[in-house]
Homo-oligomer: A and B are copies of this chain.
Amino acid sequence: MGFFDEIGKVAIGSRLRMLTDKVTEDAAQIYKLYHIDMQPKWFPVFYALTRQREKTITELAKAIGHSHPSVSKIISEMLKKGYVKENKDKTDGRRNVISLSKKGMKISAALEDQLIDVNAAIEEISAQAQHKLWEAIGEWEFLLEQKSLLRRVTEKKKERDGANVEIIDYKSEHQEVFRSLNVEWISKYFTMEESDYKALDDPQGYILDNGGFILVALYGGEALGVCALIKMNDGEYDFELAKMAVSPKAQGKNVGFLLAKAIIEKAKSLGAAKIYLESNTILKPAINLYHKLGFQKVPGKPTPYARCNIQMELNLN
């Protein structure tokens, strides 16, 4: 147990499994004690059948919370022992209606005594324990039903990553990063074009001096993401969101989202009403991100970029 104390509650799964094993391991012995020739795994099926005379395989599976092949196997074993009988449904040839045989019902009577004693034993343990396992399980089932562990972990990750990400204004020292991060992804998926070089080689002249902005994302102090807001001369849009790039090192750390969120805030604070962007549908994570931020697809506009096959806009009002 020392191991699990040290490792923390991450081990809750392993620990649950071990307790389950411990609670379960005696089951076979207990049946022997009552001279009941039955396998522990048959019990749920058995019990369900005592409650309701007849049930099909699928009904049984649903009732006891197993998959149907599991029930199918159990039934074929119980059939061999003669505890149940099967009966093809006359009106629906697919259904295999299972019921307890005479022999099965006799066993089921013997089981009742056992149930009483096992229940009493478990109640005894419960009474000796300060913390209520039964109720705790119920609560956990409910809480996990509401929000899965995966979702909870995802949220925690976002929170933690967010705290590590700092979004700052572009300074001339970032020019190298701004260029290299963009070259990296563009040349990975497409090829660099004329307009790329213009913006990347001279962000000061091409973007900032024209009334645009650039933000830089620091992760643990290192610049791992960049994003630009380019002033547009078109009457419809105020800015184009462009040259967004996140280092593979920071992938999955929510950097893109935080960066985009920040740049949208920036645009808002500058009184912008509509933002435009161009992208390509093979960049699925990017498209998803834009979608999540509220961008909507718009019909084709003229563009200098060959790689553009989708255009989107975000209305800020």
User: In the assembled complex, which residues on chain B have CB atoms less than 8 Å from the CB atom of A48?
Assistant: 3
Contact A20 B26 (CB under 8 A): no
User: In the assembled complex, which residues on chain B have CB atoms less than 8 Å from the CB atom of A47?
Assistant: 7
Does A106 lie at the interface of the complex (its beta carbon under 8 Å from any beta carbon of B)? Answer: no
Does A184 lie at the interface of the complex (its beta carbon under 8 Å from any beta carbon of B)? Answer: no
A115 in complex: contacting residue of B8, B131, B136, CB < 8 Å = B8
Given A20-B17, A63-B3, the answer on whether A140 and B119 have CB atoms closer than 8 Å is: no
Does A132 lie at the interface of the complex (its beta carbon under 8 Å from any beta carbon of B)? Answer: yes
C-alpha spacing A27/B137, complex, angstroms: 19
Contact A133 B137 (CB under 8 A): yes
Given A119-B8, A125-B143, A149-B121, the answer on whether A33 and B133 have CB atoms closer than 8 Å is: no
User: In the assembled complex, which residues on chain B have CB atoms less than 8 Å from the CB atom of A29?
Assistant: 150
Given A118-B10, A160-B116, the answer on whether A154 and B33 have CB atoms closer than 8 Å is: yes
Contact B122 A22 (CB under 8 A): no
Query: From DSSP, what is the main secondary structure of chain A's interface residues?
Result: helix
Does A39 lie at the interface of the complex (its beta carbon under 8 Å from any beta carbon of B)? Answer: no
Contact with B along A1-24 (1 / 0, CB 8 A): 101001111111111111110111
Q: Which of chain B's residues has its CB closest to A111's CB?
A: B10
A19 in complex: contacting residue of B23, B126, B137, B155, CB < 8 Å = B137
What residues make up the interface of A, taking CB atoms closer than 8 Å to B?
1, 3, 6-20, 22-24, 26-27, 29-30, 33-35, 44, 47-48, 51, 63-65, 113-126, 128-137, 139-141, 143-144, 148-150, 152-157, 160, 251-252
Could you list 8 A-B pairs, sorted by A, with CB under 8 Å?
Answer: A3-B44, A3-B65, A9-B122, A9-B126, A10-B118, A19-B137, A23-B149, A133-B136
List of 6 A-B pairs having minimum Cβ-Cβ separation, nearest first: A131-B136, A121-B152, A26-B150, A117-B156, A133-B136, A129-B139
* Seed contacts A16-B20, A133-B137; 17 additional CB < 8 Å A-B pairs: A13-B23, A14-B44, A14-B65, A16-B16, A16-B19, A18-B141, A22-B144, A26-B149, A30-B149, A33-B157, A121-B149, A121-B152, A125-B140, A125-B152, A129-B139, A133-B133, A133-B140
